[in-house]
Amino acid sequence: MMLARKKGENNLMHTSKRRWIIAIALALYLYFLLPATADMFFALYHLTHIGPLYWGYSGFKAAGYYFGIYEYRLLACLLLAAAIIVIPALFKKLHRA
């Protein structure tokens, strides 16, 4: 039996699908694709010879390396996803009170 929600009721279990998708996509990006972003900047730099692209490569390369060896990488990704889902709902709840 499903319980009916009151109109305008904000519940963490009824978070928008868009927010869930953004949270999961960002967590997966940080976990798997951060070093690949550095490679993309590196290739773009060699195609265009634009200096700031090399800076982007350097930054993402360092971030990918240090985040890759970080002991709590999975926990950080999960906490980021949880924050994206929970924090806006809490702000809405506090704003209504």
Return the pLDDT at 92. 83
* Cβ atoms within 10 Å, residue 61: 17
Q: State the Cα torsion 16-17-18-20 to the nearest 10°.
A: 100
Count of the separate structural domains present in the chain: 1
Global pTM value: 0.77
Taking only the tens place, the pLDDT of each residue in 73-94 is 999 999 999 999 999 888 888 8
Q: Is residue 80 part of a domain?
A: yes
Return the pLDDT at 1. 47
Q: Which domain holds residue 67?
A: 33-96
Taking only the tens place, the pLDDT of each residue in 29-74 is 999 999 999 999 999 999 999 999 999 999 999 999 999 999 999 9
State the amino acid at position 28 in one-letter form.
Answer: L
Taking only the tens place, the pLDDT of each residue in 3-24 is 555 555 555 557 789 999 999 9
The number of residues making up the chain comes to 97
Q: Is residue 4 part of a domain?
A: no
Q: Is residue 28 part of a domain?
A: no
Q: Is residue 1 part of a domain?
A: no
Return the pLDDT at 6. 55
Q: Is residue 12 part of a domain?
A: no
